[in-house]
């Protein structure tokens, strides 16, 4: 495997106004030999664009704020982004005194709080990382954000993306994706029909999905307070029954989803929202 990480500008532009500090860093990665690219952000806008070739470029705009000039100065070196390569996957993640980045046995990354109330020195720095990433479009992509918008376009590999407090917008995506949100909408358009199961879930927003006109899939829809709309011809299919066995006997659970078949059927599209509507339309 050949993969090279180059930091071509560290602290490219430095601005310090009172208790606020900003800088820019650019990372360049040779992704030859890699199978997937994973990016984990918390606060800040993220935009990901698929490109041709084997080179990825990540531009990072960091803003730090604190009422304490001492804490702000320390955060310049302790609060930053780092990377590692594991099992043909590159991970970009934040290092922070109040967070620890961990990877589970399945290769999924997450942040855990490292706040200890017994520490004498409190961490009182607000941080924001605005990220622009251009990445080879054929790679499988995992991108996670927590606050601010997440935009992704022109990805042909499998896309796994999640956000929490803002919208998730994915445009011109290959046929397969798993998209999750909580306090925002999910809007996605596909250039191909799915070849494997996909999932779309949000809690407080709408889900808008566009596929090519010859879509064939089995679609499972669920909303507590919304409605379903589709531009495709569909027919009902039996609702799956979940069977759970125990020492007390077998329990059969009838799911409360709406189950429909579009075209000849095929991969499962699981679409859920609690407080929004679902739209499945044609490109």
Reply yes or no on whether the pLDDT at 41 is more than 60: yes
Is residue 147 within 8 Å of 111, Cβ to Cβ? no
Given this model, what pLDDT does residue 225 score?
86
Could you list the residue range(s) of the whole structural domain that residue 86 is in?
A: 4-282
Residues 174, 232, 230, 270, CA torsion sign: negative
Phi and psi at residue 237, in whole multiples of 5°? -130, 155
Counting the structural domains of the chain, the total is 1
* Confidence band for 251, pLDDT divided at 50, 70 and 90: low
Q: Which residues contact 73 (CB under 8 A, 6 or more apart)?
A: none
Of the listed ranges 39-53, 59-73, 116-130, 221-235, the one predicted with least confidence = 116-130
Given this model, what pLDDT does residue 256 score?
65
The percent of residues above 90 in pLDDT, for the chain, comes to 75
**Token digits of residue 118:** 């017994």
Of the listed ranges 9-13, 20-24, 232-236, 276-280, the one predicted with least confidence = 9-13
Of 181, 142, 138, nearest to 159 by C-alpha is 142
Residues 179, 48, 279, 227, CA torsion sign: positive
| Residue showing tokens 């290769």 | 107
Three-class SS state of 88: coil
Is residue 40 within 8 Å of 71, Cβ to Cβ? no
């Amino acid at each position: 495997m050949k993969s090279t990480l180059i930091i071509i500008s560290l602290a490219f532009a430095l601005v310090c106004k009172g208790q606020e500090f900003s800088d820019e860093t650019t990372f360049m990665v040779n992704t030859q030999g890699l199978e997937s690219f994973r990016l984990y952000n918390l606060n800040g806008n993220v935009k990901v664009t698929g490109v041709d070739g084997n080179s990825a470029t990540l531009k990072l705009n960091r803003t730090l704020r604190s009422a304490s000039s001492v804490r702000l100065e320390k955060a310049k070196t302790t609060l930053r982004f780092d990377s590692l390569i594991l099992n043909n996957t590159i991970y970009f993640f934040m290092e922070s005194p109040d967070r620890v980045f961990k990877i589970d046995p399945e290769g999924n990354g997450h942040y855990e709080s490292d706040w200890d109330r017994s520490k004498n020195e409190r961490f009182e720095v607000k941080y924001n990382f605005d990220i622009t990433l251009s990445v080879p479009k054929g790679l499988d992509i995992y991108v996670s954000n927590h606050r601010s918008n997440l935009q992704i376009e022109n990805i042909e590999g499998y896309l796994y993306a999640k956000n929490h407090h803002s919208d998730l917008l994915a445009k011109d995506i290959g046929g397969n994706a798993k998209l999750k949100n909580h306090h925002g909408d999910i809007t996605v358009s596909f250039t191909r029909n799915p070849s494997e199961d996909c999932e779309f879930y949000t809690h407080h927003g709408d889900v808008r999905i566009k596929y090519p006109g010859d879509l064939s899939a089995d679609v499972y829809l669920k909303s507590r307070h919304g409605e379903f709309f589709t531009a495709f011809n569909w027919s009902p299919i039996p609702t799956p029954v979940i069977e759970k066995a125990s020492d007390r006997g077998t329990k059969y659970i009838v799911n409360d989803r709406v189950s429909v078949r579009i075209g000849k059927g095929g991969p499962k599209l699981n679409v859920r929202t609690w407080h929004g509507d679902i739209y499945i339309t044609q490109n």
